[in-house]
Amino acid sequence: MHALNVNWTAPFFANHNNKHYVMEDFEILTTLLSVLKWREKNGSIKLYTDTAGFDYFEKIGMLSLWDAGIDTDVLNHAPKNINPKSFWAAGKLMALAHENCPTCLIDLDFIVWEKIYFPDSPLVVIHRETLTPKVYPAKEHLITPDNYSFDESFSWSEPACNTAFVFFNQEALKDYYISEALRFMTDNPAEDSNISMVFAEQRLLAMCAKKLQFPISCFLPNPFESNNRLYTHVWGFKHQLKQHPAARTHFCIKCIDRINTDFPEQTNLLYKIPSLKQYLRQK
């Protein structure tokens, strides 16, 4: 199965004073494992990034990971009227607009460990999410662009879709979802860090599918089941890794061990990435 990764660096520069793009060490390792495991078990994978992202991956020697190619044109021409600080995942939707179904969109911090079955379904997401008001507030609490109105046929009770890993198998749904998400994000003055983005990316997808009467399936119906060995999503663990050096070191060494075991041909690459050398010295 074909998949795509997206690394839009505009949100990084909107939130940092850095002149050059960088990734955390644990983000590099998760990306390595994610891409290598996908290629080993499930198919080809393409990267959408921009010039800053391309230059960074070239500098640390990772460009060859994406066997289906690298596109910088789409994100280099990202619309200027979408605020990357608020809509930090908008690049995923911009890239998805240039892909045909069937295709998978997989986050760089999400790992699929084994070969998986793709059901004959128009849309498969990793799991659904309950509409917790703190994350998914009521319609009247959302900030919208001037002269914007929500589709009156949208169902506001539909559980949201976690899109860290999502399989699109219906062109009409993909295109309608992207157009509605871009319509919401374009010229939107929202300055919140999460609410507007997760609405556009995750809640709106469920609402679009419901309106078009396309059923939604899940790869992992219960995301908290203890026997899950197929998927790892690092998202909720990132804050702890940033705040606790011991946890960070343990995590990075475990990732390095897994890469060395499963992909020994990539060991030389690890030694070429400066931020990983501290962990390699401990082995």
Give the number of domains in the chain.
1
Name 160's bridge partners.
129
Cis omega (within 30 of 0) for bond into 102: yes
Q: Is residue 265 part of a domain?
A: no
Q: For residue 221, name the pLDDT band (cuts at 50, 70, 90).
A: confident
Q: Is residue 261 part of a domain?
A: no
Q: Is residue 208 part of a domain?
A: yes
pLDDT digit string, tens, across residues 161-202: 999 999 999 999 999 999 999 999 999 999 987 899 999 999
At 270, list the tokens: 């690890």
Q: Is residue 277 part of a domain?
A: no
What is the domain range of residue 58?
A: 3-237
* Single pTM value for the model: 0.95
Q: What is the CATH number of the domain that holds 174?
A: 3.90.550
pLDDT digit string, tens, across residues 59-87: 999 999 999 999 999 999 999 999 999 99
For 254, list phi and psi in degrees, rounded to 5.
Answer: -60, -40
Choice between 19 and 56, residue whose per-residue pLDDT is larger: 56
Q: Is residue 78 part of a domain?
A: yes
Q: What is the mean pLDDT of the chain?
A: 94
Q: Is residue 256 part of a domain?
A: no
> 95 and 79 in contact (C-beta within 8 Å)?
no
Q: For residue 226, name the pLDDT band (cuts at 50, 70, 90).
A: low
Q: Is residue 111 part of a domain?
A: yes
pLDDT digit string, tens, across residues 42-64: 999 999 999 999 999 999 999 99
What pLDDT was estimated at residue 57?
A: 98
CA 159, 30, 167, 14 dihedral sign is: positive
Distance of alpha carbon 254 from alpha carbon 250, whole angstroms: 6
